[in-house]
Amino acid sequence: MGSYAVTGGATGIGGAIVEALEAQGHDVIVVDVSPRDVVADLRTTEGREAGVAAIRARAPQGLEGFIPCAGIGGHFPRASDIVRLNFFGVVRMVEALEDLLLPGYGGIVLIASEAAFRKGFDADYLEALYAGDEAAACAVIDGMDPAAAGFTAYGGGKSGLVRWMRHRTASLAKRGLRINAIAPGYTVTKMTEETQQSAFAEALEKFVKSIPLGRMGLPEDMAHAVMYLLSERASFVTGSTLHVDGGHDAVKRPDRVA
Ligand SMILES: NC(=O)c1ccc[n+]([C@@H]2O[C@H](COP(=O)([O-])OP(=O)(O)OC[C@H]3O[C@@H](n4cnc5c(N)ncnc54)[C@H](O)[C@@H]3O)[C@@H](O)[C@H]2O)c1
């Protein structure tokens, strides 16, 4: 059985992924700010380094797969923390673990979001993400109107992540590694519970009503999709984003084909 590392695996979507991997008998290293296995705050360089060191110590023979799932929602009080965790906490961890990933196995699965496919994110923010400049990206977000900062940091960050994945697909493929993403729609987890109690509660209720399959996503729905992308059955799939959203992206953006 293989070794997998999952960030944000203490609860929610990450928790369901950990459960699915463990059910198949794999050793799963969980890095999370909440006590579960390896405790690390992936908003910070020190936390990322500690997470990487712990993963390397536990899987010196290499990893079959890496799923950087830790993330916080757009309602988080300091919006630049969303940038630090959801974008740079993912990109920096993948970069630091790339050489540990074993060619020909599951590879990397990112957790993007339906929010990545919206339009109108601040151009300076996206440029800073594309340049890999964490300080500049955080500065743009910190300088924004708080009402727009969370939306931009979250959706723009997830959009940046999908773009980054596509730019990395060829170089990883050369090493026999695949990288894919899922784009979850609204999913019942601690993150959305918190959002439901925030100023966005009313808008969210309307949003859920517009999901074509008529229900919210469950963490298990996301885990099933991740398990497919990690599996042998997806061995010719890389650079892809799988929407797991009850048809929401299709109904909201029917004309978007690329
Ligand atoms: N729930 C949704 O509707 C939804 C939709 C689209 C995408 N997502 C994405 O799915 C991922 C998981 O979200 P979720 O809904 O399961 O949320 P969640 O709050 O249930 O789980 C997030 C996990 O990340 C951990 N975490 C938080 N801050 C951290 C930090 N600084 N360092 C390390 N770990 C930290 C938490 O302890 C928790 O275990 C996120 O990347 C999120 O953006 C969620």
Query: Known catalytic residue: 154?
Result: yes
Please report which helix (H) or strand (E) contains residue 6, including its range: strand 3-7
Measuring from each residue's beta carbon to the nearest atom of ligand 1, which residues come in under 6 Å? Answer: 8, 10-14, 32-34, 41-43, 69-72, 85-86, 111, 113, 184, 186-187, 189-192
Which residue from 44, 35, 69, 85 is spatially nearest to 187, judged by alpha carbons? 69
Q: What number does CATH give the domain 3-185+222-243?
A: 3.40.50.720
Q: Which of 4, 105, 125, 154 is catalytic?
A: 154
Percent of the residues in the chain that have a pLDDT greater than 70, as a whole number: 97
Q: Give the pLDDT confidence score for residue 257 in this predicted structure.
A: 82
Report pTM.
0.96
Percent of the residues in the chain that have a pLDDT greater than 90, as a whole number: 87
Which residue from 102, 93, 89 is spatially nearest to 60, judged by alpha carbons? 102
pLDDT band for position 57 (cuts 50, 70, 90): very high
Q: Give the pLDDT confidence score for residue 203 in this predicted structure.
A: 78
Task: Tell me the average pLDDT across 120-147.
Answer: 96
Asked if residue 27 has pLDDT above 80, the reply is yes
Task: Give burial (CB, 10 Å; 0-12/13-18/19+) of 120.
Answer: exposed
Give yes or no for a contact between 97 and 89, defined as CB atoms under 8 angstroms apart: no
Chain centroid offset of residue 7 CA: 9
From ligand 1's centre to the CA of 174, what distance in Å? 31
* Nearest-angstrom CA–CA distance, 55 and 93: 11
From ligand 1's centre to the CA of 111, what distance in Å? 9
From ligand 1's centre to the CA of 177, what distance in Å? 25
pLDDT band for position 237 (cuts 50, 70, 90): very high
Which of 6, 11, 13, 75 is the pocket-test mutation for ligand 1 (most atoms within 8 Å of CB)? Answer: 13
Q: Give the pLDDT confidence score for residue 207 in this predicted structure.
A: 79
Which of 84, 109, 110, 189 is the pocket-test mutation for ligand 1 (most atoms within 8 Å of CB)? Answer: 189
Task: Tell me the average pLDDT across 4-20.
Answer: 98
Asked if residue 195 has pLDDT above 70, the reply is no
Asked if residue 208 has pLDDT above 90, the reply is no
Task: Tell me the average pLDDT across 110-138.
Answer: 97
From ligand 1's centre to the CA of 89, what distance in Å? 12
Lookup: tokens for 164? 């980054």
Task: Tell me the average pLDDT across 208-220.
Answer: 94
